[in-house]
Copies of this chain bind each other. A is one copy, B any other.
Amino acid sequence: MAFQINAELQYDVLMRSTVLLNIHALATQNQTLRLESFQVTPGVKWEELPMGTGENRYIRLETGNATKLEVSYTVMAETRHTMVSHEEIQGIPISEIHRSAISYLFPSRYCQSDRMGRLAMKMFGGIDHPYHQTVAIADWIFENIDYLSGATNEETSAFDTVTQRAGVCRDFAHLGIAFCRALSIPARYFAGYACNMQPPDFHACFEACIGNRWFIFDPTRLAALNGLVRIATGRDAADAAVATIFGQMQMTGMSVSCVSDEFQPLSAADLAGRALLIEP
Contact = CB atoms under 8 A, between A and B. Distances in A.
Contact of A107 (B99, B109, B116, B162): B109
Interface in A33-57: 45, 49-53
A173 to B, nearest CB: 16
Contact of A109 (B62, B106, B164): B106
Interface residues on A, range: 35 or more
B52 A100 contact: yes
Contacts of A146: 118
A238 interface: yes
A18 B93 CA distance: 9
A191 B133 CA distance: 34
A103 B109 CA distance: 13
Q: Chain A at the B interface: mostly helix, strand, loop or mixed?
A: mixed
A253 to B, nearest CB: 21
A60 interface: yes
A237 to B, nearest CB: 9
A167 to B, nearest CB: 11
Please give the count of copies of this chain that the complex contains: 4
Interface in A143-201: 144, 146, 154-155, 159, 162-166, 184
A107 B51 CA distance: 18
A163 B155 contact: no
A139 interface: no
A40 B114 CA distance: 27
A205 interface: no
Given A94-B18, A106-B239, A238-B108, A144 B122 contact: yes
Interface string A106-137: 11110110111011001000000000000000
Contacts of A184: 246
B119 A165 contact: yes
Given A18-B94, A95-B62, A239-B103, A118 B166 contact: yes
17 contacts: A18-B93, A18-B94, A20-B102, A49-B99, A49-B102, A52-B53, A53-B53, A105-B244, A106-B244, A107-B109, A108-B238, A116-B163, A118-B146, A118-B165, A119-B163, A119-B164, A122-B165
Interface of A: 18, 20, 45, 49-53, 58, 60, 62, 93-95, 99-100, 102-103, 105-109, 111-112, 114-116, 118-119, 122, 144, 146, 154-155, 159, 162-166, 184, 238-239, 244, 246
Given A62-B95, A106-B244, A159-B163, 9 more contacts: A45-B95, A51-B102, A58-B102, A60-B94, A94-B246, A114-B155, A114-B238, A118-B164, A118-B165
The 5 closest A-B pairs by CB, nearest first: A18-B94, A49-B99, A118-B165, A106-B238, A107-B109
